[in-house]
Amino acid sequence: MRRLTSIALLTATLALAAPALAQVRAPDGAPNPTASSVNEEMLFKQDPKIHGRISIPNATAANLIQPQGREWRAFRESWMPWIGALAVLGMIAALGLFYFTRGRIRLEHSEESGKKILRFNGFERFSHWMTASCFIVLSLSGLNYIFGKRLLMPLIGPEAFASLAQYGKYAHIYLAWPFMLGVLFMLVLWVRDNIPGKIDWIWLKQGGGLIGDAHPSAGRFNAGQKMVFWMVVGFGLAMSATGLMMIFPFAVTDINGMQAMQVIHSLIGVVFIAGILAHIYIGSLGMEGAYDAMGSGEVDLAWAKVHHDLWVKEQQAKTASGPQLGRGQVPAE
């Protein structure tokens, strides 16, 4: 019985397949060679891009048609300028609004004003500023890829703009290396002090001193600074990975992968720039006394006690002679 069923099934299958096997003939009766030939429509149904074999030693040239290029174009030309403008200008507007409502966060004077405590040593500051200076050039040359032809080119003309963009491209490629090194240095230097803890949650709930006048406790880095640290590390590594793939195109991925890399690189890039704008604001204009930490490396002890009380206690406990005093400072008796 089972055998009979299988024979019946086989016959039915053959009967169904028979018309497809029949030869389609040309008007003159010759066999039609395209009856089984590939065509564009059929290949696009199998795969979003048409790929074949090529005899030259260039694997990327074996793609015949990749219509995804048009989708990538739509992202780059229709979406990206708006996303970029919204991220960067939106952050500048938000910071402006914050400055005019909250104003500069002032240094609160106490009997310890004038005394200094070392916050960042020479190597820490070197790593920070190497990364920071590279970041500024990288972000400007990066934004130039999106906005240059729209804003700068009409002002300075195509020739001057093209040579500027050429130097911008060189700067973007070459300064990427010290930037990546800087991110790695900072990761090693500060990861210990940036592990999130319960205290960060309390800091966040109290508005971190940004909203209201509270001064929640914080260790060497408060929750806000930890967020900046993890943003720099996370985004920095993501930008490095995607950027390296664009410096070495097609080394690890195909054309659609390259398009995706560019999309990720540009999207993270503009959010990164917005985040760093906030970091620059609070580290300079936004808070009195904050800049010294990365400037001279020594901060006012009064400022440190208000903003990083737990860290100051820790530092004072480490040295029997009190706080680590900066150069030219007489220890208090």
> x/- string (CB under 8 A) for another protein, residues 256-285?
--xx--x-----------------------
Distances (CA, A) of 177 to 126, 171, 184, 273: 15, 10, 11, 18
Question: Per rule CB under 8 A, is residue 76 in the interface with another protein?
Answer: yes
Task: Return contacts of 315-319, CB within 8 angstroms, 24+ apart.
Answer: 315/117
Question: Per rule CB under 8 A, is residue 52 in the interface with another protein?
Answer: yes
Q: Which of residues 120-149 bind another protein (CB under 8 A)?
A: 144-146, 148-149
Do the beta carbons of residue 87 and residue 270 sit within 8 Å? yes
Amino acid at site 299 = V
Nearer to another protein (CB atom), residue 61 or residue 332: 61
Q: How many residues does the chain have?
A: 333
Residue 196 phi, psi dihedral angles, 5° rounding:
-65, 145
Amino acid at site 36 = S
Instruction: With residue 50 as reference, give the H or E element that holds it.
Output: strand 50-51
Question: Per rule CB under 8 A, is residue 311 in the interface with another protein?
Answer: no
CA distance 209 to 227: 15
Q: How far is the CB of 331 from another protein (least distance, A)?
A: 52
Question: Per rule CB under 8 A, is residue 151 in the interface with another protein?
Answer: no
Positive or negative, the Cα torsion across 188, 193, 198, 200?
Answer: negative
Amino acid at site 81 = P
Nearer to another protein (CB atom), residue 142 or residue 208: 142
Question: Per rule CB under 8 A, is residue 66 in the interface with another protein?
Answer: yes
Q: How far is the CB of 137 from another protein (least distance, A)?
A: 16
Stretch that binds another protein, among 71-79, 81-89, 213-221, 309-317 (CB under 8 A): 71-79
Nearer to another protein (CB atom), residue 148 or residue 216: 148
Do the beta carbons of residue 288 and residue 106 sit within 8 Å? yes
Q: Which of residues 7-46 bind another protein (CB under 8 A)?
A: 25-28, 30, 32-41, 43
Q: Which of residues 187-246 bind another protein (CB under 8 A)?
A: 246
CA distance 260 to 264: 6
Binding residues for another protein, rule: CB under 8 A, are 25-28, 30, 32-41, 43, 50, 52-56, 58, 60-70, 72-73, 76-77, 144-146, 148-149, 153, 158-159, 161-162, 165-166, 168-169, 173, 246-249, 255, 258-259, 262
